[in-house]
Structure 1
Amino acid sequence: MQIRDANETDLAGILQIYNDAVEHSTAIWNEQTVDLANRRAWLASHQAAGNAVLVAVDAEAQVLGYASFCAWRTQDGFRQTVEHSVYVRDGQRGNGIGRALLTQLIERARQADMHVLIGAVDSANRDSIHLHQQLGFIHVGQLRQVGRKFHRWLDLTLMQLTLGPRKDRP
């Protein structure tokens, strides 16, 4: 497995993973699938803003998962806080792909001089919450019944990793 910056050739794989999560999980709280043009615009906007978008690919360049971060809030005071997303292809979960992606994303956030990385996780997703805890994220809150999907109310758990000062600075 290789982790690298996403590019145009990865969009079909990213689209498949995204739409699978929309249709079959509460990892993404959207209810409508998207098309390739949507993912193309998403990637372009992330790249234009200097936000990381990473993919994990196998030897045949098949996208196994992807991860990204973007602004937490748009006001200037939040400029060093980003929210991340990590998604892994169905059938590949539990193989360390999500951990590898999130580990690389944390490093990218540090390199981008970010101070805090936020994860907003469906509270029922115990595996994701556990992964975040293993990587140093702390539970900072839970928002009850703030989302709705599959005819039920969903709670959102907020996880935070304070990155601290860059190691190459005094």
Structure 2
Amino acid sequence: MIRHATPLDAAAIAAIYNAAVRETTAIWNEVEVDAENRVAWMNARAAEGFPVLVVEEEGSICGYASYGPFRAFDGYRATVEHSVYVRADKRGGGRGRALLTAVIDHARTAGRHVMVAAIEAGNAPSIALHEKLGFARVGVMAQVGQKFGRWLDLALLQLVLDDRPQP
């Protein structure tokens, strides 16, 4: 079941986030967060009209997704960047696809025009999932990040959400 997150989900969201910080190159951050931090993050998202969605199975949060501003300048207001994270033991079962589809649908309903995906270039499963859902590769930025003592490349993909000829 996919639903909007509540503060009661914050500890589970923090645990998924922190595992990605410690174990993957999906998040280019080295600082872990706590439930209070995630509640503040969810409140900030909600204040701007952005969702935080969770996938719940048998009372357990298996993953979460959100989107927010792509860049802070007015000219980018119709463009958003998303994040999707699934607990390691629940990957590969369609949960990431379901969450990504849900945030795409939310962004379309909210009148957004483009959704950007910024993915560590070596994350072939994530890139493949995005392409299956219609995202197009638009570039790779070489060595723009670092983690675990190595440089990371950033693959950029985008999905045009509507066919408006003008904003």
Give the TM-score range, shorter chain. Answer: over 0.9
* 2:77 is equivalent to residue 66 of structure 1: no
Aligned equivalent of 2:153 = 155
2:11·2:34 contact (CA, 8 Å) conserved in 1?
no
TM-score, length basis structure 2: 0.96
Q: Which amino acid aligns with 2:17?
A: Y
Aligned equivalent of 1:30 = 29
Q: Select which of 72, 75, 80 maps to 2:73.
A: 75
TM-score, length basis structure 1: 0.94
Instruction: Give, in angstroms, the shift of residue 59 of structure 1.
Output: 2.3
Aligned equivalent of 1:20 = 19
Aligned equivalent of 2:7 = 8
Aligned equivalent of 1:50 = 49
Q: Deviations over 1:77-98 (max 9, x none)?
A: 1111000000000110000000
Whole-Å separation in 2 of the counterparts to 1:30 and 1:59: 30
Q: Deviations over 1:7-62 (max 9, x none)?
A: 111111101000000000000000111122211111110011000110000122x1
Q: Which runs of 5+ in 1 are unaligned?
A: none
Q: What is the root-mean-square deviation in Å for CA atoms of aligned residues?
A: 0.9
Whole-Å separation in 1 of the counterparts to 2:63 and 2:35: 17
* 2:89 is equivalent to residue 91 of structure 1: yes
Whole-Å separation in 2 of the counterparts to 1:58 and 1:165: 35
SS at match of 1:34: coil
Q: Which runs of 5+ in 2 are unaligned?
A: none
Across the two proteins, how many residue pairs are aligned to each other? 164
